Amino acid sequence: MRARREITVKIPAGVGNGMRIRLAAQGEVGPGGGPAGDLYVEVQEQQHDIFVRDGDDLHCTIRVPMVDAALGTSVGLETILDGSIDITIDAGTQPGSVSVIRGHGMPKLRSGARGDLHAHLEVVVPNKLDHKQTKLLDEYRTMSDRDRVEVVSKSSQHSSGLFSRLRDAFNVR
């Protein structure tokens, strides 16, 4: 005889998408009234609005205004498990930089350890400036003799190693 019933399943910390949890003796009754089999529950994670999970690590993108990237700042980030934390953006932060906050990722399965939080910093350059902003940036340009436009060869740019490809993969968002 088939019947529906609701059961509560305790999901251990660190379980990821596609993992299965076995519930012993919670399945169908065996043939001829034998013992009940096992029930397997497959976990499917919902996408988060801010964070992308990569194993035990979490990745997010923070858009930083050009001025804040140049001068440095701090930004509050509401995490999944730790509430709000402050992420320090150092003065002179370049586009594509990644700030890694150790121990603020997802819990590791059957362990007290946690992954890391990778904050990918996207420096935003304004596309519309008023007259005063344009004048101030022009003054800065005349005072700065080191920062000039230059053409560089492809070989002198970042290498296409494993970490560069990983960084670029997460910056696609």
Please spell the DSSP secondary structure of 146-158, one letter per residue.
S-------GGGS-
* Reported CATH class of domain 48-127: mainly beta
Residue 159 is predicted with a pLDDT of 53
Supply 27's token pair.
């399945």
Residue 143 is predicted with a pLDDT of 87
- In whole angstroms, give the CA distance from residue 89 to residue 71: 9
Indicate the helix (H) or strand (E) that contains 135. Answer: helix 131-143
List the chain pLDDT tens, one digit each, 173 residues: 567 888 888 988 889 888 999 998 888 888 887 888 888 999 998 999 999 999 999 999 999 999 999 999 999 999 988 999 999 999 999 999 999 999 999 999 888 899 999 999 999 999 999 999 999 999 988 888 777 777 877 665 555 555 666 666 666 55
Listed by start position, the domains of the chain span: 7-46, 48-127
